[in-house]
Amino acid sequence: MTRILAVLLLLSSAAFAGGGPENVLVVQNDLCPDSVDIARYYVVKRDVPRHHVVHVRIPGGPAKPKKGGKKDPKAPADDDGWDPRESFASFDEYCTLLQEPVRAWILAHPGSHITTIALTRGIPVCAPVKNAKGNEIVRATAHMLGGMFVEKDDLRTGPEGVRGNPSPFYKCDESIDPAAPLKGEWRILCVGHLDAFTLADAKRAIDLAVQSDSKRPDGTVYLGQSAEKDPRGMYNPSFPQLADFIKGLGMKTETVAHNPNNVLLEGKKDVATYAFGQAGWDETFPAKNAYQPGALVDNITSVAMTWRSFVDGSKGGQTPMTWFTRAGATVVHGCVREPTTGAWDPEYLHIQRYLSGYNVIESFFMGHPWYPWMNLVAGDPLTQPFAQRPEVKGELTGAKGAWRLKVAAKATREGAALKSLEVFVDGVKAGDAQDGAEFDLGTAFDPAVNSWRVVATDDSKFRTQGSAASAPLKGESGKLSAKLDGYYKGSAALKLGYDGKEPVVTWCAEDAKDKVGTVKGYRFSILFEDDTKPHSIDLWVRNAKGEAPVVLRVEVPAKKR
């Protein structure tokens, strides 16, 4: 008798505007151990498709010796010995080491519909760009990379003078369409930075972002006034109107008078958002408050997000916003170089967008009047506590060789309906589903090996997503190893060692005929169409348990002729 299995999974749906995990591309610097760690941690925490990782190789900066040959204490390194760099050395270096690999990945995976890029530690926060006269000026790497598909040269390569170009994304009130992220007027992707002072700080911020998803905080939006005649006080006149907007959303708000003692907010236990303008504040000030999951902290000032802001042991620059991350904020915003007040919207548009329901990275890109500029958002770019997500259910029915997935979903935002229902198997889109209908998962699908996810997108301007997914495989502790066991006519044979149950592996290899696959067993092969160059294979062992994601990398050498 054929055994029939029916499993109903109703999970807490994640919600995302501007796309979700299936629309994120993570950039990992293989030369920086912390970058590798953060990238792997984020991919697992957000369940980003395992092949949505671009591997780049960006060297660290040289340690600066002082007299006597010892290292200058003003140029600290992380515990792993990695020495950060203030900036890419040149526009050409930025293009070669970062932009070209990221652009090539996106063009090679058109079906992935990337809307968001998450950079990691070990990638310089600044990049020189060429202006119209061929001279090099400096902008934020995140802004430069976000505009890599913009067709206008002046927008892609930066302005000639100090002022930026008008951003085509500025004041937009519609999310990037995941179905066509590179079409339309903008052609801008949103780029954030997964980093903080320490690796632990960065991971905690990711955890807080995941925890906050679609859970509207019952906190207060604090609006901090700047000192009188301080140019950072450009927002002060808009506070009454902004307060009315916040109250209209049913939230609490409080305007905080400027405090000349450099402790600008103190004793607040319900910070949902805090925005202010101040330089040189006391470094103990951020920890004098408590921040809710999803809390955004923004400071309009100079050099608050320089490379020093991401190096434990340094003073972090003039006013490092990463002190707020350490104190419990989820996302922070600042500048990598000296900006100008004209680079901010005078009405805190990005905060309005965030509180309305967009994710944090789209909110900031919508609020940047100039492009490209000095702005940097540090934290999970998918942070979105104010979303109203579609509800999604998935029911797996059938038997071996004939598994089907019955899906049901409904929009929860008033006036919205469902726009699409997509089914993903092991992170790769398998097709579009119909509400209430059954989706054929194919004869090769095995619930003991393969994972599924249903993603529903509503037709509101937010294009908010909700999802339901199969339960993860139960992990077991065990020693793992992987090695190349032969390479013949472009086919790389791999052998795994594992003392737990038979391993289930998702492998990713950019140069392979099939770029991603999921298999069960100790031996399998991957076909490369070009055996004249070396290749790399990443192996995610899905049923291995450990404190960190279990990832193995196997190098395949070029075939000798």
User: What is residue 254's predicted lDDT score, i.e. its pLDDT?
Assistant: 97
Domain end: 334, 354, 378, which one? 378
Domain end: 347, 378, 409, which one? 378
pTM of the model: 0.92
User: What is residue 70's predicted lDDT score, i.e. its pLDDT?
Assistant: 52
> What sections of 389-435 are H helices per DSSP?
none
Q: Please return the burial class of 153, using the count of CB atoms within 10 Å of its CB with bins 0-12, 13-18 and 19+.
A: exposed
How remote is the C-alpha of 8 from its chain's centroid?
30
| 79 and 177, same domain (yes or no) | yes
| 95 and 214, same domain (yes or no) | no
Q: Is 50 exceeded by the pLDDT of residue 57?
A: yes
Instruction: Tell me what the mean pLDDT of segment 102-121 comes to.
Output: 95
Domain end: 378, 411, 446, which one? 378
**Is residue 2 in a domain?**
no
User: What is residue 82's predicted lDDT score, i.e. its pLDDT?
Assistant: 75
User: What is residue 500's predicted lDDT score, i.e. its pLDDT?
Assistant: 80
**Is residue 398 in a domain?**
yes
| 147 and 174, same domain (yes or no) | yes
| Cα separation, 527 vs 418, whole angstroms | 39
| 319 and 422, same domain (yes or no) | no
| 212 and 331, same domain (yes or no) | yes
> What sections of 139-274 are H helices per DSSP?
141-146, 153-157, 199-212, 239-248
| 424 and 511, same domain (yes or no) | no
**Is residue 475 in a domain?**
no
pLDDT in tens, 470-526: 998 888 877 889 999 999 989 999 999 988 889 999 999 999 999 999 999 999 999
| 510 and 395, same domain (yes or no) | no
| CATH number (domain holding residue 461) | 2.60.40
User: What is residue 17's predicted lDDT score, i.e. its pLDDT?
Assistant: 47
Q: Is 60 exceeded by the pLDDT of residue 77?
A: no
User: How many residues make up the chain in this entry?
Assistant: 561
| 234 and 322, same domain (yes or no) | yes
Q: Are strands 126-130 and 136-140 parallel, antiparallel or unpaired?
A: antiparallel
**What is the number of other CB atoms lying within 10 angstroms of the CB of residue 17?**
32
Instruction: Tell me what the mean pLDDT of segment 21-34 comes to.
Output: 96
Q: Is 80 exceeded by the pLDDT of residue 334?
A: yes
| 454 and 527, same domain (yes or no) | no
The torsion angle over the Cα atoms of residues 514, 515, 521 and 523, rounded to 10 degrees, is 70
| 145 and 244, same domain (yes or no) | no
pLDDT in tens, 174-211: 999 988 888 776 788 999 999 999 999 999 999 999 99
pLDDT band of residue 166 (cuts 50, 70, 90) is confident
Domain count, the chain: 4
| 301 and 361, same domain (yes or no) | yes
User: What is residue 68's predicted lDDT score, i.e. its pLDDT?
Assistant: 47
Strand order in the sheet with 418-425: 428-432, 418-425, 452-458, 465-469
**Is residue 383 in a domain?**
no
Q: Is 80 exceeded by the pLDDT of residue 547?
A: no
| Spatial contact of 239 and 223, defined as CB atoms under 8 Å apart | yes
| 121 and 26, same domain (yes or no) | yes
Strand spans (E) along 316-451? 331-335, 370-371, 375-378, 391-397, 404-410, 418-425, 428-432, 438-440
**Is residue 489 in a domain?**
yes
Mean pLDDT of the chain: 88
Residue 407 lies in domain: 7-14+388-469
Q: Quick one: what percent of the chain has pLDDT higher than 70?
A: 89
pLDDT in tens, 373-428: 899 999 999 999 999 999 999 999 999 999 999 999 999 999 999 999 999 999 99
User: What is residue 34's predicted lDDT score, i.e. its pLDDT?
Assistant: 94
